[in-house]
Amino acid sequence: MSTGTESQTYPQRPWPRIALFGLLALAEIAALAVVYQVLADFQCADMGLFAACRALQSLPARALVGLAAAAMLVWARPAGLGALGPRGAPFPWPWVHGVGILLMFAPALIAPSGNLATLGATALALWSVGAVVTGLGWLLWLAAPRDLAALVRSIGPPGALLLLVALLLPDVVRLAGPLWNLQAMAAATLGGAALLLDAMGETVHVDVAAAILGTQTFSVRVANSCSGIEGIVLVLAFGSLYALLFRQTIHLGRFFALVLPLAMLASWLLNMLRIAALVKIGSNGAEELAVGGFHSHAGWIFFCLVALGLVALMETLPWLHRDRPAKSAPRWAEDLAAACIVPFIVFMLTGLVGNAIFPEPELAYPLRMALVALSLWPFRRIYREMICEPSPASLAAGMLIGVVWAITAPAGSGGLMAQLAGLAPAALLGWVMVRVLGTSLIVPLVEEVFFRGYILLDWLDGPGWPRKVLAIAASTLPFALLHGRPVAALLAGLVFAALALRWGRVSDAIWAHVVANFVIALWALAAGDFSLI
């Protein structure tokens, strides 16, 4: 990988194809969940064939948990992944996958006045056929049948058991739902969320018997699917599967006696925070967003991220593993491709969550940067080897980009500045400091190692100018679209790409981006307008 580091110690996996297929599946799951679980207004009781409808309704959750389990399996059993390396996709399978997706969305498109209940069995048939065609097309697009068979043989019985348990987890969670009826657990969960709301300045009322939590202006009934049972069961399942996959290298007694109970407790506490945050959102006037956020599929997304985060954390605990020196890095922290991809995914996800929850998303910038910084920390050794001294050309290019960006910036909307004006002086100072540091250091590193390091230099770059043009376009166009000023960002991205290609390393692009953003941050400080950054 030509990102500027000479280290040969980092094991590589066929990330490009796996990452792209995983992101495609996540995007499709999210779209289906939004269309049929948030926007559509129907109940399975109105459709006929109640059991079949409920089974199909659980497909996004099953697919999501299955992907998370597959990700853990990929990490534990990398030897069988050779079949999933780059290869030409057989002609029909991408189209088969696309047809399946269209079938799954068809009921929402053809339902009279958007009323899905009027389609009844027709909608159920389209969903069923679409799910089968989508999954089949996705798998055979990913790898040929013989390669998939070889992959199944390589993962062995533990891997097959993991995937089976993952697909059945929604049913296990449904069976665990009655635990929410235990008054002690309901009281503890609602009480914890009420304490958090009280700390947010709200006047809270709680009805434990009816599982109702609210403020003076907004109340919700916390159903089984939002109680935290899902998260506890999911963490228990993922933790146990982790122990099964790595049973030969971890101390099982320490894991089950301490780590797993603490992980389940952490999941429960985080769910209290989630409930309190959503009630706070509803109290601030965003009732539809709050009610939508209570939906079970939003909880599944949240808890899958928590479970995978806890698995990653387990890898960082040397005392949990046998024969690992106290200062050795976890396996996933030694993967150069992961160092380029993981922080960018965290960066994007935190941005999406901030936009969905906060009336002014930039107010959540300190929390967002804290999470991104945490995702960068495990890969610090790789970044140290990747970044070398800046060249004069990279510093000059960064200063030029920063000045041009600041001079040509349109007038800000004023919404952010109005929100900042309502902060206490200490909070405002903290926000400004994090904004400047995050914009000048964290964001350039995250964006450059992904766009210029991973996409440009490693994945797509090759001999000949046609290949280089493709690599530049693939790394620059998405970068431009992510910024509010796509034309200016496109020009900046082209400069960063030229710097990276000129010396064959991502370091110069990082330095140019750092200097550019620092100049813009200084300009924003002088102008008193933080919408510039």
What does 441-483 look like in DSSP terms, one character per residue?
IIHHHHHHIIIIIIIIIIII--SSHHHHHHHHHHHHHHHHHTS
Q: What is the pLDDT of residue 495?
A: 94
Grouping H, G, I as helix, E, B as strand and the rest as coil, residue 505 is coil
Is the pLDDT at 149 greater than 90? The verdict is no
Task: State the number of CA atoms in the 13 A half-sphere of 336 facing the CB.
Answer: 23
Q: What is the pLDDT of residue 208?
A: 75
Is the pLDDT at 90 greater than 60? The verdict is no
Q: What is the pLDDT of residue 415?
A: 67
**For residues 291 and 525, which has the higher predicted lDDT (pLDDT)?**
525
Q: What is the pLDDT of residue 263?
A: 82
Mean pLDDT of the region 152-157: 72
The rounded distance, in Å, linking the Cα atoms of 41 and 115 is 7
The rounded distance, in Å, linking the Cα atoms of 190 and 186 is 6
Whether the CB-CB separation of 37 and 206 falls below 8 Å is answered with no
Calculated CA dihedral for residues 397, 401, 404, 410, nearest 10 degrees? 180
Q: What is the pLDDT of residue 101?
A: 87
Mean pLDDT of the region 227-236: 74
Tell me the pLDDT tens digit for each residue of 466-518. 778 888 888 898 888 888 788 899 999 999 999 998 888 899 999 999 999 99
Task: State the number of CA atoms in the 13 A half-sphere of 303 facing the CB.
Answer: 37
The rounded distance, in Å, linking the Cα atoms of 14 and 19 is 9
Is the pLDDT at 329 greater than 60? The verdict is no
Is the pLDDT at 428 greater than 60? The verdict is yes
Whole-angstrom CA distances from 461 to 382, 451, 453 are 21, 12, 10
Q: What is the pLDDT of residue 6?
A: 39
Q: What is the pLDDT of residue 5?
A: 43
Mean pLDDT of the region 428-442: 90
Q: What is the pLDDT of residue 12?
A: 45
Beta strands in 25-128, from DSSP E residues, in sequence order: none
Q: What is the pLDDT of residue 205?
A: 83
Question: Dihedrals φ, ψ of 293, to 5°?
Answer: -65, -20
Is the pLDDT at 437 greater than 80? The verdict is yes
Helix pair angle (296-315, 229-245), 10° resolution: 30
The rounded distance, in Å, linking the Cα atoms of 13 and 84 is 10
Token digits for 143?
Answer: 């790898």
Percent of the chain at pLDDT above 70? 70
Whether the CB-CB separation of 496 and 513 falls below 8 Å is answered with yes
Q: 207 forms bridges with which residues in the sheet? A: 212
